[in-house]
Structure 1
Amino acid sequence: ISGKFCAVKGCHNSYRKLKMFLDQECYEHKPTIRAECKCPRPFKLHKMPSDDEGKRQWLAALNLKCPPRNIHVCSFHFVDRQPSTENPYPELWLGYDRPLRKKRRRRTCPDEAVLRPHENLAYQTEIEQQILLTLMKLKLNLLIEDLAIRFRISVSKVSRIISFWIDTMAAVLKDLIPWLPKETIRATTPEAYKQHYPNVTCILDCSESEVQRPGNLDSRSESYSHYYACNTIKYLVAIAPCGLVMFISAAYGGRCSDKFITCDSGILEYLHPGDEVMVDRGFLIRDLLFERQVNMIIPHFANKTQLTEEKVTCSRRIANVRIHVERAIRRLKVYKVLSQTLPITLMAKIDQILHICAALVNLRGDLICEADN
């Protein structure tokens, strides 16, 4: 019996250590020793189950090269502090960085995008808690291990909840990013635009978010941004003069140019003859807009000759109203999943994440009214 010890890598809990603790005098129930008082024990050693399936799951979780003959695991490595019906296998602090590769379950898309709990989960977590967990990941960009501890569930279940609700929320919230008709845009145009640019349809700008460095060399080169000197994703944002996000593109590698993203994202399909688009100096898309008879408002370039006073005044007027698209992007970056380094595990969901964040931004108050107040 004295040879009992926890089989997890790096864990030093053993029966001998527990016995030494129990032989000491209890501080609250002096002179009674801890083995005789009612105080809880710091840990217990649980033996590996005898059935074949249980043995296989335990050995797969422990990931031991040379497992001992008698395997015991202390209570620190179980979600419920002991093997339970919902969490019968050790899952916490197992002494290795890479999680085990598990076969992904095939998930069938629901017929209607309705908010409902994940049916494949074996445990019953309330729908509000699942949505809260997903929003905390988007807003605070907390580690999955941190969320698992906060909600008292395993890391794998946190990943499954986030994956499911990102897909579901993106399908439900897509209607909150509408392309407004001309009449609505004219009716909601603020005074800042009416004086000099009353016919502006939208303001375009690109933004970038840093991503974790990919291991694949091709992905690393495609996502490298020379402007930020790191790996990034790049996406196009179009806002109405009133500050509403009307369009957000899919994510592209940081190496892509603004012109390529504008041409490939599909935003040109929303523009009609007679529209006016306001852009920054980096958007060299005049030829693309000319084919669709769309006027482009862009600040003047300072070449070898100095700009005239009239051009300087015009550029300042454009900058004064174009600043609102920067404020709209800043609202997007409030969600730290876009302002901090994006983990490589979320790259497959980045398009849905962008649409969710843009939809949540549109639920806030008017952008320009806040500036006026």
Structure 2
Amino acid sequence: MNSRELNGCWPVAGECVISDMETSVSHPWPEDISRDHDYGEHTRIIHSNADASTQTGFSMTDIDNLQQKAKQLDDPDTLLRDLFIAKVTKSDSSVQQYTGIPSKRILDGTFDILNKSSPELKYWGGQNSSTPKAYQTDPYTRKTGPKRKLSRYQEFLLTLIRLRMTLTNFVLADLFAVSSSRVSQIFTTWINYMAIIFSPLIKWPSQEVIKKFRPRSFKLKFPNVTSIIDCTEFFIMRPWNPTAQSQTFSTYKQHNTFKALVSISPSGAITFVSNLWGGNVSDRHITKECGFLDIVRPGDEIMADRGFVIRDLLLKKRAKLIIPPFTRKCAWGKGKHLSASDIIKTKNIAHFRIHVERAIGRLKTFQILSNTMPLNLKHVANQILTVCAFLCNLQKPLVKK
């Protein structure tokens, strides 16, 4: 077959093979006639019958991945969400900074607990959202409305990031490619669900457990202490109602606050956290009414500050109160003072009582508690405090020795 028979049409792959063919075209014109071109002389044509698909190094899997990436480029919101979640979970330090959980492994384990506890969640949609819908009672009725854009794991991360970073709904909506109202709905649903699951896990340990994990420093000075307690306050926005203003105004902080009682074990784990009270309520009243006395056992020793005038309440439970001694009136003049033994006792108690302050400081690394809380979160404020207390217990012990 020569180039004239091909008539300018190259063979289709697999039809024919032309290899190492040389053509010598005769010249119809005399030799002495000059030629501008000599295209037809000594042409060498080499072809292969290999399929065109084998000419690339990409497999079908590579092509599918490229198509998926192309779709992501067409949807920048989804791409931003995926990149942000990858950044949050890329390392243990990133997980710690964004969520307050110490490692990726613990993060995944915590989610597995939640995911297995309730395979389906009914999302909060207002006061009437508890009413069963038709699709929930009739298996043949399909749920109306658009499909959810976020997976359960992504919603779990959104909730943790808001607790830790206190980002606004608007910012979270942009990062997760959903609406601001959807962010509020997801957060309200998950914080209530997490509080239900995690609240029973904040336990008052038995005497045997406390003795087993009691640090050596406590064994030497206060071998029978089972709990260290203190009250802490969280700033809130000023309510518009005058009665609410007076009930939440703290004379100590000179601000409207919520107040709660926190108890830790000698190793630093949070063993009890009360519901929130108004900032003007006394420490004694909170201790008496919050349910803390119900879990105190006979023989327990409770360490506290001087402000906890609760010795009579603990005596009814046959428990002991350890607080710094009060000053006494000077025998040689005006004023009050502490004796040498009282000063030593005060220093020893202060040295160990500081651990509850450290636990509260760890609790306030969740910026939703350390910043001024908006009033639109008051309906989930107790749940927020409970969840943050549990997440603090996932970290390393405060007291090591």
Match for residue 291 of structure 1 among 305, 310, 316: 316
Give deviations 1:167-202, integer Å, cap 9, x for gaps: 111111123311101111111110111112100110
Q: Secondary structure at the match of 2:321?
A: strand
Cross-structure match for 2:358:
327
1:232 corresponds, among 257, 273, 277, to 257
Residues 243 and 324 in structure 1, CA contact (< 8 A), matched pair in contact too: yes
Q: Is the 1:245–1:362 Cα contact (8 Å) retained in structure 2?
A: yes
Q: Deviations over 1:196-241 (max 9, x none)?
A: 2100110110000100111111111100001111100000001010
Compared CA separation, residues 363 and 155, structure 1 to 2 (3 A): same
Partner of 2:156: 131
In structure 2, the residue matched to 1:300 is 325
Q: How does 1:20-99 map to 2 (within 5 A)?
A: none
Contact 2:227-2:263 at 8 Å conserved across structures: yes
Q: Take 2:399 and 2:321, find their aligned partners in 1: how far apart are those partners?
A: 22
- Structure 2, unaligned runs of 5 or more: 1-76, 79-124, 133-143, 329-334
| Of 353, 357, 360, the match for 2:388 | 357
Unaligned runs of 5+ in 1: 1-78, 81-101, 110-118
Return closer, same or farther for 1:278/1:207 CA change in 2, 3 Å cut-off.
Answer: same
1:292 partner amino acid: K
Post-superposition Cα deviations, 1:230-281, rounded to whole Å, max 9, x if no partner, equal 1000000010101111100000000000000000100101112211100001
Distance 1:313 1:349, change over 3 A: same
> Structure 1 residues 157 and 344, CA, compared in 2 at 3 Å: closer, same or farther?
same
Pick one of 257, 264, 280 that aligns with 2:305: 280
In structure 1, the partner of 2:192 is: 167
- Whether the 8 Å contact between 1:278 and 1:298 is mirrored in structure 2 is yes
Cα distance in 1 for residues equivalent to 2:384 and 2:217: 31
Higher helix share: 2
CA contact (8 A) 2:247 2:278 kept: yes
**Is this contact kept in 1: 2:226–2:266, CA < 8 A?**
yes
Q: Pick the aligned partner of 1:184 from 191, 198, 209.
A: 209
Partner of 2:227: 202
Contact 1:176 1:362 in 2 (8 A): no
Q: What corresponds to 2:268 in structure 1?
A: 243
Deviations 1:304-358 (A, max 9, x none): 3311110000010001111111111111000001100011111110111111001
2:129 equivalent in structure 1:
106
Letter in 2 for 1:106: S
| Amino acid in structure 2 at the alignment position of 1:323 | I
Contact 1:281 1:298 in 2 (8 A): yes
What is the count of residue pairs matched by the alignment? 262
Report runs of 4+ in structure 1 exceeding 2 Å deviation.
102-105, 119-124, 302-305
Residue among 172, 179, 185 paired with 1:154:
179
Question: What is the CA deviation profile of residues 22-80 of structure 1, one whole-angstrom value per residue up to 9, with x for unaligned ones?
Answer: xxxxxxxxxxxxxxxxxxxxxxxxxxxxxxxxxxxxxxxxxxxxxxxxxxxxxxxxx99
Could you tell me whether the CA contact under 8 Å between 1:148 and 1:155 is conserved in 2?
yes
Q: Which amino acid aligns with 1:107?
A: S
Two-structure CA RMSD over aligned residues (Å): 2.0
Q: Secondary structure at the match of 2:196?
A: helix
The percentage of counterpart residues that share the same residue type is 40
- Mapped partners of 1:349, 1:160: distance in 2: 12
Q: Secondary structure at the match of 2:221?
A: coil
CA shift, 1:103, in A, is 6.2
Q: Which of structures 1 and 2 has the bigger CA Rg?
A: 2
* TM-score of the two chains, using structure 1 as the length reference: 0.67
SS in 1 for 2:293: helix
